[in-house]
Amino acid sequence: MKRKIFDLQLFAEESAREAAASEVTATRVSGVADLGEGTSASGDEKPSNEPPKPEAKYTDKDVDDIISRKFAEWEKKKEKEISQAEELANLNAQERAERERDQMKEELESLKRANTLNELTGTARKMLSEQEVSVPDELLVNLVRDNAEDTKTAVNKFAEVFKEAVKKGIADALKGQPPKVGGANTVTKDDIMAVKNPIERQELIAKNIHLFQKGV
């Protein structure tokens, strides 16, 4: 009887040990399932369904290099613009200087012409005085040329025509013929001054000097 009881106890203990072993195994399997969800049986991670995160395209050094290069390009462009502006300013200053120089040159030439005119007018007056020819100052301008030689020729020609006209007037007066002051061929001072040919104009002045006397 005792032996049977002992055998039953031994059988019960073995059954309990087997049940405990089965429970531990189940627990381990469950733990592995809980911890290894998304992990393969070999322990490797299963591929995730989420899209992979993009890797950084530029590093901090790359960004610094890009900024430095862009700044250098901008600085070079600005330097070129400043250089062009300075060149344009210098060109404008040069143009202004040339314009001022031309204006000064014109003024100087004008002063020279005026000075030459005064000198030649004085020369013409002196030459007429030496030939005992007296004419108003306004007529002397018509006798003055660009140089002394041409002025001398014009004065001598005028004096010659003037003297001939005076002689003719004196001769007519001696004959009792009054000078012609009217008629179809009568000319006026304005008509004479409107003549463009200087030689013809001088002859008309000499022949009609009475029109240029003061008070006429």
Q: For 62-73, give the DSSP string.
A: HHHHHHHHHHHH
What's this model's pTM, rounded to 2 decimal places? 0.41
Can you give the pLDDT at residue 53?
Answer: 61
State the pLDDT at residue 31: 44
pLDDT of residue 71: 92
Burial zone of 163 (CB within 10 Å; 0-12 exposed, 13-18 middle, 19+ buried):
middle
User: In this structure, how many other beta carbons lie within 10 angstroms of the beta carbon of residue 206?
Assistant: 22
pLDDT of residue 172: 62
- Which residues are bridge partners to 39 per DSSP? 45
3-class secondary-structure state, position 122: helix
pLDDT of residue 209: 74
Q: For each successive 10 residues of the chain (216 residues), what is the average pLDDT?
A: 45 51 46 45 53 66 87 92 84 81 92 90 89 80 86 88 76 58 64 78 76 61
Say what the pLDDT of residue 56 is.
Answer: 58
> Distance from first CA to last CA of the chain, Å, rounded?
189
pLDDT for 94: 81
Specify the pLDDT at position 106.
Answer: 93
